[in-house]
Amino acid sequence: NTKYPKIQNGITDPDYSIWAGVQEFKHSITIANVQSPSDINRIKLALQIYNFGPGFLNYINSNGGEYTLELAKSFALKMANGRTQCGFRSPFCYGDYSYVEKVLKYYQTSEIAGGGAVGDEFFQKVMAEAIKYKGYKYVFGGASPTASFDCSGLTQWTFRTAGVQLDRTAQMQWNQTKRISAEEAKPGDLVFFHGTYNSGTYITHVGIYQGNMQMYHAGDPLDYADLNKPYWQQHLAGFGRVQ
């Protein structure tokens, strides 16, 4: 913004306000070092920088280098200058510490470029089919759009559309795939879990890896999930690649 006072609501031209907002967000993406549309952790950081201002990046870099909601809250407390009453945000009365969560509710990596980060045609075919069922209810034993899906039913159905025949259960798909490390895993690989329920097998859940520790899976409902969350870390068994 070079035309209007740099104060809250200082811009009175709506078109210029939109343009200036886009430039600010572009700058936030740049300084957060976002690498791709599926670089979720860096996107979270960029979003909160956009809300708080670039000083939040320095704060993050001084506190481990990774965005967390707790760091957003502590920064808001620090910058609020003693103010503790501000409606739903109280006592975090600077900016909006929940801005990231609000924006990401409407952000779908695969529809934008989930596989585009590596240009993988197979992954894009799988996700073009999988995303059709985002929001469907989880149905145990489900393996088609008419019945909805369980975890391995979803992976079997979507991989079939890309020309790969997977076996029916999560354990069988684990047995069918080659073990790879988290560092080797790419969008389109499978990510497996154990102990999510008592199934009588070691592997109990499977999802489609999106890159950057994100997956798309038959949760309830079918949706994306962050593998960095403690629940998934606790149950993570490993990654698999179709041979």
Domains of the chain by start residue, with CATH: 14-107 (1.10.530.10), 115-242 (3.90.1720.10)
Please name the residues in contact with 147: beta carbons below 8 A apart, sequence gap of 6 or more: 139, 141
**What is the arithmetic mean of pLDDT over 181-205?**
94
User: CA triplet 194, 195, 197: central angle to 5 degrees?
Assistant: 120
Strands (E), the chain: 143-144, 148-149, 177-180, 190-194, 203-211, 214-217, 223-226, 236-242
Q: Looking at the DSSP assignment, which residues form a beta bridge with residue 211?
A: 214
User: CA triplet 55, 58, 64: central angle to 5 degrees?
Assistant: 140
- How much is the pLDDT for 212? 84
In this predicted structure, which of 15-24, 98-107, 203-212 has the lowest mean pLDDT? 98-107
In the predicted structure, residue 26 carries a pLDDT above the cut 90: yes
In the predicted structure, residue 119 carries a pLDDT above the cut 60: no
pTM here?
0.55
Place of tokens 């000083």: 55
pLDDT band of 108, cuts 50, 70, 90? low
**What is the arithmetic mean of pLDDT over 98-103?**
87
The residue type at 153: G
Which of the residue ranges 1-5, 19-23, 84-88, 111-115 has the most confident prediction, judged by mean pLDDT? 19-23
In the predicted structure, residue 118 carries a pLDDT above the cut 50: no
pLDDT band of 1, cuts 50, 70, 90? low
pLDDT band of 117, cuts 50, 70, 90? very low
**What is the arithmetic mean of pLDDT over 14-24?**
88
The mean pLDDT of the chain is 89
The residue type at 60: I
Tens of pLDDT along 75-89? 999 999 888 898 878
- How much is the pLDDT for 109? 55
What is d(CA 102, CA 205) in angstroms, rounded to the nearest whole number? 28
Token pair of 169 as six digits: 């259960």
pLDDT band of 111, cuts 50, 70, 90? very low
